Chain A
Amino acid sequence: MSRNDDKQYRRSPEESGHDAVEPVSGIVAPVDRRRFMQLAGFAVGSAALAGCSRGVEHGVMPYLIRPEEVTPGKPYWYASVCGGCAAGCGILAKARDGRPIKLEGNADHPVSRGGLCAIGQASVLGLYDSRSLRAPLRGAVASDWETIDGKIGATLDEVRAGGGRVRFLTDSVTGPVEQERIGAFLSRFDDGKHVTYDPISVSAIVDAHRDTHNLDAIPGYRFERAEVIVSVGADFLGGWISPVEHTAAYRSGRRLDGPDWAFSHHVQLESRLSLTGSNADRRIAIPAGSDAPIIGHLAERIAGLAGSSTPWGTLPPCPLPDDTIAGLALRLWSAPRGRTLVLCGLNDPQVQVLVNYVNELLGNYGSTSTETTLDVESVSMQRRGNDAELHTLLEELDSGTIDALFVRGVNPLYDLPGGERLIDALTRVKLVVSFTDHPDETSMHAGFVCPEPHFLASWGDSEPIAGVVSVRQPTIRPIGSTRPLLESLAIWSGQPMSAYEIVRDYWRRNIFERRLNSATFEDFWNRTLHDGFARVRRVVPGGFGATTKLSGVAIMAPERWSAPANDRFALDLYPAPGLLDGRHAHNAWLYELPDPITKTVWDNFASISSLAAEAAGLVTGDVARIAAPDSRDGFVELPVLVQPGQDDATISISLGYGRLGTDRFADVGPKWLEGHPTIDAGETIGVSAAPLLRWVNRTLSFAGRHVQMEKTGLRHQLTTTQKHHTLEIPRRLSMSGETHRAIVQETDLAAWRADPHSGGHAHHDLATLWSEFPRQKHHWGLAIDLSACTGCSACVIACQAENNIPVVGKDEVQRVREMHWMRIDRYYSGDDADIDVVHMPMMCQHCDRAPCETVCPVQATVQSSEGLNQQVYNRCIGTRYCANNCPYKVRRFNWFDYPRDDRLQNLALNPDVTVRSRGVMEKCSLCVQRIQDAKADSKTTGRELQDGDIQPACVQSCPAGAIVFGDMNDEESRLSHLKHDPRHYTVLAELGVKPTVGYLTLVRNREET
């Protein structure tokens, strides 16, 4: 506390009016309600923390008089904006006793619609990262703001006087106020420029739309309106632009509930097996970078069908058979106009222009009100990177003409290829300021580091979609002496203001102008804070107003694509599912989150096909050297992973790994005789693949570079949570010749239409010797729609955050002792060329006749009167018989005590859930704490529990709405309807254990027209 005494405190959103800031002065009044609560909460929290490690901490303030409106033990929810990536999902942050402990998607927010991805869920852990910077740095030395401001101010004055060049390098800034403030700051210089780039760049899409539709943004993708989706390498359910938003939309276009069901046909052409590809109805493997000729041929075919002619003579040859392209074109063309969607993930403006041309031919462009799939009004403002400007900046840096460089939200020395040259260039810049929250590759070469507080501890705003604005409000005081960018800029401009004032001021001046209703600004402001967002008049970026018609840009034939030579591969670089571009490299939850496809943890790897592996004599875990022959330092060495569905000529590597400082995770997990550390001191987790990135025509190119692969002879243990990947048992171990295990029910759309029971297998009435349990009012259960689940794994992290699940480290996962209460089983079927993937969320099935209950000698696991299978930690002696007897193997044993490597992160623990000790069994409780909470609420308010009042963490977080919780005794509940759906089945029903968690048959739209 004492370190913050000179810090200014930013006022609460609810309290408007006087904006004075006052220093905290011990116990002297006036301390207002909110501040008192926050101070006390933090004081208690830090005291509790200190109790874990150090002696008595002074300055603890007990509640002598309870602050108004604060009930200890009752959570408060704040609507805010997620800062996990640039998508800008609306969140509700749950704060208990002054500290945020859980983030959930805001159900009203147009981007998240209630869901939140794994990264968003995990970002609460980052708030309590004790390794994040707590004070500004001068060089590598901790300093204080006064000194820093003095030094930076002096240098800036010098630069301004000399008319020097100032560059502000950021990732996509989705907050209008930050965008404006950076601009205002730069306007004080003769040559100031704001350069934006996204390390996982999609700038080609913006570039193409600027050319074709006069739109300086990404159009709104309306997956829910699409009847046919053809995606060439765009992983829109995974790491592409706005996955939560896309998942929700995609799923509302693929639902089988009720008579107005809709189910789009999704074709994915891709070089690696992506999350999106794993959900596609049809998947075609293509070499990385061959998107261009494929889109070109598709365009030609569709133009032919449309009766128009393509503006080119001949096309380079297509890597796919003619009839495949013809079939795709016909499928697209025969769907209603405007109801198809063609996407491409290649960051190449020329190809993206072709994609726009195809979509134009298909009539997909329209406005928000038309029923078309591409919306040029409610456009996405989530990505604003401009590779060309970045390229210019790099040239300027190279030539040594930049005087001051501010780096925020990006890490160019890590993100970009050609690191060494950049270091040299940086040393020639007079002033380099980084705003990073962890020391990173770039900040090592920055003169000053001005760390910003976590997004949960600072004011800001966002406009992810044109016309949808949100305020990001803090839920806790910043931990340590960090300062928001807005305040730093204000001070350096000579007009110190708090971030709160800056945001409000901007909103009063600019956003309020665009209001659709609300009489006064206070109304508008409070309404927005309460709802988490407001709809305002759209201002679509673009010079003259976007058009829905393709302007007269030159559509050119794609350049010839060259297939890699025999001993070469096409490279495909993609964002890591958890770490994205590496910005979450300090989050242990995300490292231990199994990759949704490969199920690996704590590593990145080079995916190769089994054919390629065989040819190179490699098996999973062999370290290979992957080098670009056209470059000296363009190589990486990392383990290969033989991946089904991978294109034979492609090597795929995820970006985001190998970040500086990740050797901190050496301390993760239990330490014992045979235990291995997750990482050795001085190493990094995974390997950075950025050296293999390259510039093509001033655009960052992620796919298609030709590389060589050599065996190094080294081995590296790749750890996966799943060891057997199909539902087939080895043929030689089958007595009857039958090898398939009917765990997952699957059918296709045509069969489902003919018979909604299709895919199921009838069970005879299963006799039982057991009598019915007496049930009280409720009988809780779950239904999981396998057709809806994309496998994104948001639920896994939501469960981890909600239920205080520890991180155990790579070695323990290798020993198959990960603690996640829910896992997503991923099964492959079919062969490499045409692979089908099933994602099956698996958690405690809460059997009515639970086999775990009968075998526990001490009744530590018992059936509740409401149908829950409960684990009583106090009573458990740890015989593990329950886990042995669980057919679903969903029980988790505490093999060790699992203290957090970072004790500060204990503040993220949910006080409603016991932290389990060593030696006890645990498992999914269906979030019983939430059930009890809702029941208690209903009791005190006298309001009957309504269907949907209770949402376990997994249900709440699911962007696809694939999991439904409810009361099976309530015939009208959504769950009861699903339980009576012909698609509903329970896994291993033949055992007679009567699970209350059920699944809905997976339907694939294989219908060919």
Chain B
Amino acid sequence: MSESSAALRPPLVDGNRRPGEVTQDISHSLEGRPSWLWWVGLGLSSSLLALGIAAVSYTLAKGIGTWGLNRTVGWGFDITNFVFWIGIGHAGTLISAVLFLFRQHWRTAVNRSAEAMTIFAVMCAGLFPLIHMGRPWLAYFVFPYPNFRGPLWINFRSALCWDVFAVATYFLVSLTFWYIGMVPDLATLRDRASSGLKHRLYSWLSLGWNGSARVWLRYETVYLLLAGLATPLVFSVHTIVSMDFATAILPGWHTTIFPPYFVAGAIFSGLAMVLTLMLVARKVMRLENYITARHVGSMCKLIIGTGGIVAMAYSTEFFIAWYSGNPYEQFVFMNRALGPFSWAYWTMVGCNVLTPQLFWFKKIRSNLVLVFILSIFINIGMWFERFVIIVTSLHRDFLPSSWNTYIPTKIEVATLLGSFGLFFTLFLLFCRFLPVISMSEIKGVLHHGRPHDGGGR
């Protein structure tokens, strides 16, 4: 490694690892016994998951009445959690697909886990539309399946139907993309596997990968195509989620700004969640050499950008409310800022508008503990953003006689915690059984074997 190149562009992988060492570093954590930290994490998250399962079972047994919803506020924690989790997923796709297409090589260290996060977040998200239904056992009604009832079709005008397609597509494409990208690594694990079951499982999953040039060629093509396919989804899914609200006539929901606002917000929240997870995984899985300060810095900068868009959207909403002259619209925004839920609104503004501004400072960006804390603030802020949009618009709408409030029940809180339990349980299992860093890709960005003239990109 030459001094000059290092000064120009810091290396993507620290520690001057060789390919063999990379394989060793990454596979090692899958082969040995898990650390006590992992067990503690799994214990905590599976307890939360169990709590969530209990809460959801209770809801299914008793009815939606176990939530704090009422005739004025028909959605609360349920859809807030849905939009929150869907948003979390977006950063994963952005990192793995969009940055891949833009040839951002720094993404290689984080793309696998970011994508895993996407998959798990979408799974958490998908849970909520299902359980928020009064009769979830009839959820298949939302699919346009052939039938003899007329035929009876779904309502293609309803944004909720678009949502079904958007989220299902997103999940399937992300899952395929993630899996295809993992095939070479699964083959590596297969080759290293000692026990019969492990070997058989990894062989089955690695689809007969033999490492030949032809296989590599086809793999690269498929991966590129899937990246191309996934890229528009980053924008379409949250656009459609935003239409769940934008196509309503409710002031505070009925806004054309929602699609870009939601997409930016989704990426913003997703990056925060990636940071939260990466900083923990880095420490727990001892991947300091692969997930470097440079990655963290890049993501902080992206957060500043997307956070700026979000802040812009907040102010635009107020401006348009005033400019439109629509008294109902004006009231909704004044009520957000100064009404009974103003605490939620100002939590949101504090977390989403003020927090990212701290990332302008390099000192803060490079202080990983601080970055971790701030990323959690953004996660909280983005959850509140959805809560504010949904609940404050609903609780005081047109007729003052219907004005009302919303107080979540313990069951709802437990369900939210349960979704975090599900997410972290899945993520910890992923860390344990699948390579968290793409070995095949990271080898492509090592210094090793490159001329000492500034390679390393």
A878 and B72 in contact (CB under 8 A), knowing A736-B327, A857-B142?
no
Interface residues of A in 693-730 (CB under 8 A from B): 722-730
**Interface check A881, CB cutoff 8 A:** yes
Interface residues of A in 356-402 (CB under 8 A from B): none
Chain A 9-46 interface 0/1 with B at a Cβ cutoff of 8 Å (1 = within) = 00000000000000000000000000000000000000
Chain B 266-301 interface 0/1 with A at a Cβ cutoff of 8 Å (1 = within) = 000000000000000000000000000000000000
- The answer to whether B63 touches A857, judged by C-beta atoms less than 8 angstroms apart, is no
A854 and B63 in contact (CB under 8 A), knowing A879-B160, A884-B74, A889-B402?
no
- The answer to whether A733 touches B335, judged by C-beta atoms less than 8 angstroms apart, is yes
Q: Which residues of B contact A816 (CB under 8 A)?
A: 70-72, 404
Q: For the complex, what is the distance from the CA of A987 to the CA of B328, rounded to whole Å?
A: 14
- The answer to whether B134 touches A894, judged by C-beta atoms less than 8 angstroms apart, is yes
**Interface check A965, CB cutoff 8 A:** no
Q: For the complex, what is the distance from the CA of A674 to the CA of B68, rounded to whole Å?
A: 10
**Interface check B53, CB cutoff 8 A:** no
**Interface check A131, CB cutoff 8 A:** no
- The answer to whether A854 touches B398, judged by C-beta atoms less than 8 angstroms apart, is no
Among the 9-residue stretches A92-100, A309-317, A916-924, the one with 4 or more Cβ atoms under 8 Å from chain B is A916-924
**Interface check B397, CB cutoff 8 A:** yes
Q: Which residues of B contact A732 (CB under 8 A)?
A: 334, 338
Among the 9-residue stretches B102-110, B151-159, B430-438, the one with 4 or more Cβ atoms under 8 Å from chain A is B151-159
Q: Which residues of B contact A893 (CB under 8 A)?
A: 64, 69, 71, 74, 134
Please tell me which one of the listed residues B141, B248, B334 contacts residue A735 in the complex, with CB atoms under 8 A apart: B334
**Interface check A858, CB cutoff 8 A:** yes
**Interface check A673, CB cutoff 8 A:** yes
- The answer to whether A733 touches B334, judged by C-beta atoms less than 8 angstroms apart, is yes
Q: Which residues of A contact B411 (CB under 8 A)?
A: 673-674
B397 to chain A, nearest CB (A): 7
A855 and B401 in contact (CB under 8 A), knowing A880-B134, A884-B74?
no
Chain A 761-774 interface 0/1 with B at a Cβ cutoff of 8 Å (1 = within) = 00000000000000
**Interface check B234, CB cutoff 8 A:** no
Q: For the complex, what is the distance from the CA of A403 to the CA of B190, rounded to whole Å?
A: 103
**Interface check B225, CB cutoff 8 A:** no
Q: For the complex, what is the distance from the CA of A730 to the CA of B410, rounded to whole Å?
A: 31
Please tell me which one of the listed residues B399, B404, B409 contacts residue A743 in the complex, with CB atoms under 8 A apart: B399
- The answer to whether A878 touches B64, judged by C-beta atoms less than 8 angstroms apart, is yes
Chain A 878-906 interface 0/1 with B at a Cβ cutoff of 8 Å (1 = within) = 11110111011101111111000000000
Chain B 43-66 interface 0/1 with A at a Cβ cutoff of 8 Å (1 = within) = 000000000000000100011111
Q: For the complex, what is the distance from the CA of A854 to the CA of B154, rounded to whole Å?
A: 11
A20 to chain B, nearest CB (A): 55
- The answer to whether B403 touches A919, judged by C-beta atoms less than 8 angstroms apart, is no
Name which of A733, A812, A879 has the most chain B CB atoms within 10 A of its CB: A879
In this complex, what residue of A is CB-closest to B158? A857
Chain A 808-823 interface 0/1 with B at a Cβ cutoff of 8 Å (1 = within) = 0000100111100001
Interface residues of A in 859-890 (CB under 8 A from B): 859, 875-881, 883-885, 887-889
**Interface check B133, CB cutoff 8 A:** yes
**Interface check B249, CB cutoff 8 A:** yes
- The answer to whether B249 touches A851, judged by C-beta atoms less than 8 angstroms apart, is yes
B336 to chain A, nearest CB (A): 10
**Interface check B382, CB cutoff 8 A:** no
Q: Which residues of B contact A89 (CB under 8 A)?
A: none
**Interface check A115, CB cutoff 8 A:** no
Chain B 182-226 interface 0/1 with A at a Cβ cutoff of 8 Å (1 = within) = 000000000000000000000000000000000000000000000
**Interface check A510, CB cutoff 8 A:** no
A919 and B63 in contact (CB under 8 A), knowing A858-B141, A887-B249, A889-B399?
yes
Please tell me which one of the listed residues A674, A727, A743, A876 contacts residue B410 in the complex, with CB atoms under 8 A apart: A674
- The answer to whether A723 touches B154, judged by C-beta atoms less than 8 angstroms apart, is no
Q: For the complex, what is the distance from the CA of A800 to the CA of B394, rounded to whole Å?
A: 27
- The answer to whether B134 touches A827, judged by C-beta atoms less than 8 angstroms apart, is no
Q: Which residues of A contact B404 (CB under 8 A)?
A: 723, 816
Please tell me which one of the listed residues A724, A817, A878, A889 contacts residue B135 in the complex, with CB atoms under 8 A apart: A878
- The answer to whether A881 touches B134, judged by C-beta atoms less than 8 angstroms apart, is no
Please tell me which one of the listed residues A673, A859, A892, A917 contacts residue B155 in the complex, with CB atoms under 8 A apart: A859
In this complex, what residue of B is CB-closest to A881? B160
- The answer to whether A825 touches B74, judged by C-beta atoms less than 8 angstroms apart, is no
**Interface check A261, CB cutoff 8 A:** no
Chain B 240-251 interface 0/1 with A at a Cβ cutoff of 8 Å (1 = within) = 000010011110
Q: Which residues of B contact A854 (CB under 8 A)?
A: 155, 157-158, 247
Q: Which residues of B contact A734 (CB under 8 A)?
A: 327, 330-331, 334
Q: For the complex, what is the distance from the CA of A670 to the CA of B396, rounded to whole Å?
A: 27
Q: Which residues of B contact A49 (CB under 8 A)?
A: none
**Interface check A993, CB cutoff 8 A:** yes
A-B contact pairs, 12 of them (CB 8 A): A722-B401, A729-B331, A733-B339, A736-B327, A815-B70, A817-B70, A817-B71, A827-B401, A851-B248, A854-B158, A855-B160, A919-B133
Task: Spell out B's residues near A (CB within 8 Å).
Answer: 58, 62-66, 68-72, 74-75, 129, 132-136, 138-139, 141-142, 152-155, 157-161, 164, 244, 247-250, 321-322, 325, 327, 330-331, 333-335, 338-339, 394, 396-405, 409-411
